[in-house]
Every structure is written in C-alpha cells, then in structure tokens.
Structure 1
Amino acid sequence: MSVQVTRLPSGLTVATDSMPGAATVSLGAWVGAGTRHETAELNGIAHLLEHMVFKGTARRSAQDIAVEIEAVGGHLNAYTSRENTAFYAKVLSEDAPLALDIIADILQHSTFLEEELERERAVVLQEIGQAYDTPDDIVFDHFQETAYPDQAVGRPVLGESRTVSALKRDSLWDYLRGHYGPQQTVVAAAGRVEHDRFVDLVAGAFTHEGFQSNGATDPADYRGGDRREERDLEQVHLLLGFDGVGYLDDDYYAMNLLSMLFGGGMSSRLFQEVREKRGLVYSIYSFHSAFVDGGIFGLYAGTGGREVAELVPVVCGELAKLTEGVSQEEVERARAQVRASLLMSRERSSSRAEQLAQQILIYGRPQPLDEVLEKIAAVGRDDMARVAGRLLTSRPTVTAIGPLAHLESAEGIAARFG
C-alpha cells in the first residue's frame, strides 16, 4: 500500500503517499482552520496570517525564505479556504528536509514584525480591491454571503477592508496559537518519500509548544436569498444556487455527478442548450461546493443585459427537467468525466498530497482510491433525479452584478420551482 499514516504523541498526523519512480516530493502542512473559524470582527485574519508567515521568522528573513527554497529549484506556496489553510512545497526528494524545515519554521516561529504587518496589510487591501473590481469574482462572495447570511461560512475569505484594516499583531498571534495546534494539523507528502524517515523529520521539526487546537464552528445554515448590484458593465454576472450536501452526506457523489451532467463540460445540458443552441452566453457552468456539514449547488452565467431575460427561464427549465430523470448515457458520461479527472489528478504528487491531507481532515482517515471509485460507480439514474429534487426543495440563492433591468425578480425565479 502506497499510503501510510502515523499519529505522533502530540496528536499531529503525518501521512505519506509513495510514488515509485518519482524524482520529486510534494509536502506541506494542512491546518483545519479557515474563514469558518473567524469571528465577524476578525474576518480575513486566516488569510492575512497565511501571508504574514512568509514575512520572516526568528531564523529567516522573508528574503531568506524565498532564496533558500529557490536555491534548490523548489516552489513554496499557500492558500486559505473557508475550512482550512495549507502551506506546501514541491522539491527534489533530497531537498525534502529543507522544505519541511521552512514550513515548520514559518508556522511556529514567525515574528509578525509591525512594519511587515503594515506592508502586507496594504497588499491584502489591494487584493480585496482587485476582487471588488472583478465582477465575475466578487459575485461569488456575494453568493456565499447571501446563501449563508450572518455566518462565518458566508463571509469572504479575503475579509473586508474594514476588518482587515483593524487587525492587530496580537490577534494574529492568538489566532495562530489557538488554531494551529497538532490535533488540527496534517503534515502530508507524496512522491519519492520514505514514510518512517519523513515521520522522524516531522517529529523533529514540529514541537507545537504553546499551540492549541480549536476547530469548533457554528453549523452551516443555508437560507438562500437575493442580492443584486447594478453596475455599468457589458455583461450580467449571474449566480443561481440551492442547498447542497456536505462531504459526509450519502448523496455527496450523486450531487457531484449531477453537477457534471448539468453543467460540467461542453456536452452538458447547460452548455448545449444555453450556449450552443441559443447563443445566450459565452461562459456557463454548474458547480457543487461542499463543506463538512453542508454545501451549495450553483450555476454561473455571464450574459448580456437583455439576454438575461431569456436566459433565466431557460436555465430554470433545465434545472426542473433534472427531476424528471436523466438518461443512462448522460450518467455514464458524467461518471467517466469524474472518474477520469480523479485518476488524472493521481499522476501529480501535489494533488496526491492535497487529497491525502484533505481526506484525513474531513473523514479522519485516508480514503482508498478503490473505495472512492466504487461510490462513483454506485450512482444511478434514480439517484440523480432524487438529488435534483432534493435541491429544488430549498429556497434559491440569486446574486447578480451588472445591468439588471431585465433580470426577473427573486419571487418570479422562486415560483418557477414552486
């Protein structure tokens, strides 16, 4: 078996996925803390922290961090999501100890100097401004907030200018030490890696002295609603969504296949009906975003200010048709797409390390590939129709930015499913 997992006495989980023949290794620390673990006043702190740990430690300056990893031809990066934050690297296998040492250093010994904080705060504020100026980006933040109002899971990952501007150095320290503890962290590696050796390296690098693990969050409570922002744009950026399912739900794989069938590719119902037959859009697709305890199913379309009047009835009609049943050919095509995407991702060490860490954070264990493929194979036509019906029992979420004079009212859209 290529996957091995060890839990250290501290509670830190170490996992590896060996890929014989690889010359490189992808490794990192995945922490079960993100936007969902912020208070309203601290919205954006997880993302700002992700930036700040690269700005220097007791042993390394920001330049040292960049120079050391690039001196061996490696890559170092990070991201923040609503449920976790990741810090990862890809290097030649012989340079894994260096990459691991850098990641352990920045996560335990960052200095958060005031002058660095002010510089990086300015960078993040620019990032927030850029997102606001990108309508097909900011509309997704509006969508999340409308679906989950007054909840941490609905707040923007970047935070808001008001909250980020007010964040203090002490708050960063408190968040780091309160949420980045060993019980909330998975250190994973995939590629040319020897498990026992990697475990020894991790045990020596991560002491987590003074760190705690606080993964408590409020349950995700989907509510739906309507939010529109009139802007002088060439296009309407429209999102329509419904209450989805979480990773642990029995319908998780059926919902993913339904999304693929509905709007996951050029052969999907949405693409064929809306773009190919009617020419109403350039971009249209569906998606299912899951959390541990919930999720949201949605579709995005970019269309003209006048075309949106025709677009909405068409996409609503296509959604409703899903409850009437799907063909076996469609199911097989969606299954093949999901299966192929999964197997293709297995060829990349970075994807395998990511998948391994995420599975442990979500399920508490790695999911064998055969198990996942069996669940995908088990989804049938009746399952697809059933989960489509499950979707449409929830209140729709409608968000739009652009010239909105011809966009149907929220009540009118909801009535199409009632």
Structure 2
Amino acid sequence: MNGAVALPLDLPELSLTASGEALVRRSVLPSGVRILSERVPGARSATIGFWVAVGSRDELGAEAARGSGATFVDALPSRFGSTHFLEHLLFKGTPKRSALDIAVAFDEVGGEHNALTGKEYTCYYAKIQDSDLPMAVAVLADMFTSSVLDETEFENERGVILEELAMADDDPNDVVGERLFEAVLGEHPLGRPVGGSNDTIRAVTRDAVWQHYLANYRPNDLVVTVAGAVDHDELVGLVVAAVESAGWDLSVPARPVERRGADSATVTRGSALSLTTRPNEQAVLMIGYPGFVASDDRRSALSVMNSVLGGGMSSRLFQEVREKRGLAYSVYSFASGYSDAGVFGMYAGCSPKNAGRVADLLVAEFSRLALDGITDLELARARGQLSGSAALALEDSDTRMSRLGRSEITTGEFADLDEGLRRLDAVTTADVQHLAQLIVARPLSIAAVGALDADAFSQVVTA
C-alpha cells in the first residue's frame, strides 16, 4: 500500500493490502450501508462495531428542531441528551430479545460488548471469538435496527444516566475536561458535554429520543466495521441477512449520508477562566486553545509537537513541572480534533497553593517551544515514541476496528501503519515550530477545579 487510500461514497467495492499483510475490504451497498473489514493474519478473535455518524453535537434544541423542515419534529421538545440516552436504551430490548437476552448472548461466550457516545459519532461494539461473529452481527443488528425504547425502561434508564452523570461530577478530571471545552469552544455544539447535563436528561422525553432514533438510525447512516479473524464476503452476507430480518428494505437505493465538511468553523471563546470551587485536596487545571480539525494535513506535525511538549516522561512539561520542581504527579498535553474544530490543551494536577505557579509554567513552556522550536533529537525521539505506540496499539483488534470506523466517518481515507510512519518521517522541526506559533497566538482558556480563587491565575488569564 502506497499512500492513503480514499474512501469515496460512490465506490461500491474496494480492496487493498495494508501493512503486515492485513487485507482491508469495503463494500457500499445500494441502500447506503457501508461495511468495512480488516482481516489480520493469525487472529482468532474479532472486534465488530456498528457506527452512526451522530454524536452529542447533532442534538437539536426545541427551536432548532421546529425549524428543521422535517414534519416529525414540528412539535418536538429539545433532543439534548438523546444521543447518550440511545446508547443506553439500545441494550434494553427489541421485539426479538430482552435486555437479559442481549447480555446473556455475549456473556455466555466470554465476549465483551459495550457502546460509546462521542461528539460526532456513536458506536455499539463487541469483541468475540471468530466462531461467534455471526451471533455478534445478529444481536448488534437487532439492537441497532429494532430497539423498542420501552417507556418503563426509558424512565429506569433516566435514573441510571443521572447516576452516571453524578459519578462523573464527583470526578474533578471529568469536570475540568467538560469545562475546558465549554471555555474554549463557547457556543459551538462541540462545546456541549457529550453525556448531557442533569437538566437536559431530566427534561428530554421519550418521544424526543424516539424521533432522534428514527431520524438517524437508517440504512444509509449505518457503518459496520470488523477487524481480526473475518471473511469479508461472509460478513456482508451476515449483515444483510440480519438487518433485512429486522425489516429494513435494502433494495431501496440511497446514497450514504454525506461526511461532515472539513472547513474550520469560526469559534468564539466561551470564557477566559472557568473555575469550579471545591474543597478537594488537589486542584486540577487545564489550559486550552482552539486547535485543528481532524483531517488537517498538519496532524502528524501536531502529534510530534504534542509528544515533545507533554506526551511522555521525557516531555518538556513532565521534566519541568514534575521532575525538576516536584509540583505535580500527573502533567501532560493533548490534542483533540473534530470535523470543523479542535482543542489543544495541557493538564496538571497539583496542590491548590501551587496552581497559579503550575499554570504559569505550562504556558511558559509552550511559549518557549513556539519561540525556540524543538531540537533534532526531540524530533527523533517523538517519531520513535509515536511510531512505537502506533505499532503496539495495532496488536489489538479493537484499535483496528476503531481505525476503520473513524476513517470511514471522519477523514474519508484509510492510512495504514506504513503511511502513518511516512507522514511522521516527513515532519520537520520547522513544521512543529510553525504549528506551535499558530496555536499559542490564539485565545487561551483555563478551566480549574479545586480550592482556588481567580487570583491564582491572574498572570495567565488574558482578556
């Protein structure tokens, strides 16, 4: 495989050999269903995912729903929280299977099954032995196509989700992450919490979630990805049989839903400082800037920059904040990219009395990188770290399955390990410095949780 391979929505069949002699195949059915597989030599298990390119950013408020032009939302209340609700409810039963039946199907074969809700997609997945793939396809397809969203189960799950949110709210790391995205991205839909809030979960109705389900869980929304021990032709047959038995008519032609545009949105900062005061022993803080979209051509340079700044124990932040000064146990940087926006940030957990000093150090170290750049040695070390971690991650079929899903839904191209290494090798120290200069010039936001007051960050916060 030479270079990344494009995944056009109108290409019915595609086959390629990826690094490590893995066979990647893709079928786009006339109904718009997309099925991708990666057969890994020697694998005896498989990971399967049923994806839909709908996440928390796609939920409509009441006014937006009524103005959408779709007749079934004319009197619809807010759908905020619907995506997270569906992640729970699709496990709660169909006309064919009860919630217990679904759980037993995987437990009795030693399989794992779960779901995740993101800002731009939702995935229902399972990991099983190769011999149990037909069962996994049948159960996940039944859940995806035929959930009944029972009223009693809906109200029970409302309580479960509120407990989940309460658990997250007790974790300062969860809280500071949500507050940072709100602070950096402001009113952009990506700034909303993925799981919803107590108010939105209490307010959303079963009808609102049902309409969200009908609007977004259709054949041309469905992407199925499998990695590990899988035969593609058999997989296609299993998926077709499973969804048709659920009542989907795959003879009706439809184009797969269009991917999101990749143009960067205009982002207005929500706040310079978001402070959540709590009597915790440790303060946690994040400093963030608007970042880059997921498909940006500079994402390899961004990975290198992140690695040098805060990607490991040899990184600048770790060495300066923890090793030299002993001010934090956990300190790192991160980059999150989405279709039209992103966030680059830094994190540290420290004593409340040191929070201001640590924030100053984080910003100063990033500014120094932007001013002076990185060394050839740091570039080489980052390449080694990133290439090694990528290779190790691909030992797991979960990672390969997720890579297929993100490639199909987000970037529209498949890049194997060799292509990833080629892109890393092309990054220069000048590329990294230029990227850092672009980011550090953008508005900065701080989110912090702990026994703190705003004065602690007076040296960092800008108007």
TM range (shorter): over 0.9
Instruction: State the SS of the aligned residue for 2:314.
Output: coil
Residue 289 (structure 2) aligns with: 242
Query: What residue is the counterpart of 2:310 in the other structure?
Result: 263
Tell me the distance in 1 between the aligned counterparts of 2:453 and 2:111.
Answer: 51
1:146 paired to 2:194:
no
Q: Distance in 2 between matches of 1:216 and 1:314?
A: 37
CA distance in 2, matches of 1:91, 1:132: 33
Partner in structure 2 of residue 122 of structure 1: 159
- Structure 1 residue matching 2:155: 3-state secondary structure: helix
Could you tell me whether the CA contact under 8 Å between 1:275 and 1:282 is conserved in 2? yes
In the TM superposition, residue 216 of structure 1 has moved relative to its aligned partner by 6.5
Retained in 2: the 8 A contact 1:235–1:302?
A: yes
The answer for the alignment partner of 1:404 in structure 2 is 452
Q: 1:377 aligns with which of 425, 447, 463?
A: 425
Contact 2:185 2:290 in 1 (8 A): no
SS of 2:329's equivalent in the other structure is strand
1:25 matched to 2:46? The reply is yes
Report which stretch shifted further, 221-230 or 320-329.
Answer: 221-230
- Cα deviations across residues 145-176 of structure 1 (Å, max 9, x unaligned)? 11122232111111011111122222222111
Cα contact 2:82–2:209 (8 A) shared by 1: yes
State yes or no: 1:360 paired with 2:397.
no
CA displacement at 1:349 relative to structure 2: 1.1
Give me the TM-score of the superposition, normalised by structure 1. Answer: 0.95
**Residue range with higher mean Cα deviation, 383-392 or 69-78:** 69-78
The Cα offsets for residues 208-255 of structure 1, whole Å up to 9 and x where unpaired, read as 459995877997443332211222121221110111111221211111
Measured after TM superposition, the shift of residue 363 of structure 1 is 2.2
CA distance in 1, matches of 2:303, 2:260: 27
Q: How does 1:53-132 map to 2 (within 5 A)?
A: 53-132=90-169
Distance 1:5 1:56, change over 3 A: same
Q: Match of 1:285? A: 332
Q: Secondary structure at the match of 1:404?
A: coil
Deviation of residue 262 (structure 1)?
0.5
Runs of 4+ in 1 over 6 A off after TM superposition: 214-219
- Letter in structure 2 aligned against 1:4: R
Partner of 2:381: 333
- 2:445–2:461: 8 Å Cα contact kept in structure 1? no
Aligned residues: 415
- How far, CA to CA, are the matches of 1:144 and 1:188 in structure 2? 29
Residue identity matched to 2:353: R
Tell me, yes or no, if the aligned pair for 1:143 and 1:398 is still in contact at 8 Å.
Answer: yes
Structure 2: how far apart are the matches of 1:405 and 1:248?
Answer: 38
Letter matched to residue 289 of structure 1: S
SS at match of 1:54: coil
Q: CA 1:252–1:80 in 2, change beyond 3 Å: closer, same or farther?
A: same
Instruction: Call closer, same or farther: CA 1:407–1:283 in 2, change over 3 Å.
Output: farther
Question: Which stretches in structure 1 are left out of the alignment for 5+ residues?
Answer: none
Equivalents in 1 of 2:363, 2:382: separation in Å?
A: 21
Aligned-pair identity in percent equals 36
Aligned partner of residue 353 in structure 2, secondary structure: coil
Distance 2:154 2:259 in 1: 25
> In structure 2, how many angstroms separate the alpha carbons of the residues matched to 1:183 and 1:342?
31
1:8 to 6, 25, 29: 29
Match of 1:346 among 384, 391, 394: 394
- Decide whether aligned partners of structure 1 residues 310 and 365 sit closer, same or farther in structure 2, where only a CA change above 3 A counts: closer
TM-score normalized with structure 2 length: 0.86
Deviation at 1:185, TM superposition (A): 2.5
1:314 is aligned to 2:351: no
Matched AA of 1:18: R
SS at match of 1:232: coil
Contact 2:173–2:284, Cα closer than 8 Å, also in 1: yes
Aligned CA RMSD, in angstroms, stands at 2.0
What code does the residue aligned with 1:331 have?
Answer: L
Letter in 1 for 2:124: F
Aligned residue type for 2:422: E
Q: Secondary structure at the match of 1:306?
A: helix
Equivalent residues of 1:28, 1:100 under 8 A apart: no
**Separation (CA, whole Å) in 2 of partners of 1:32 and 1:192:** 25
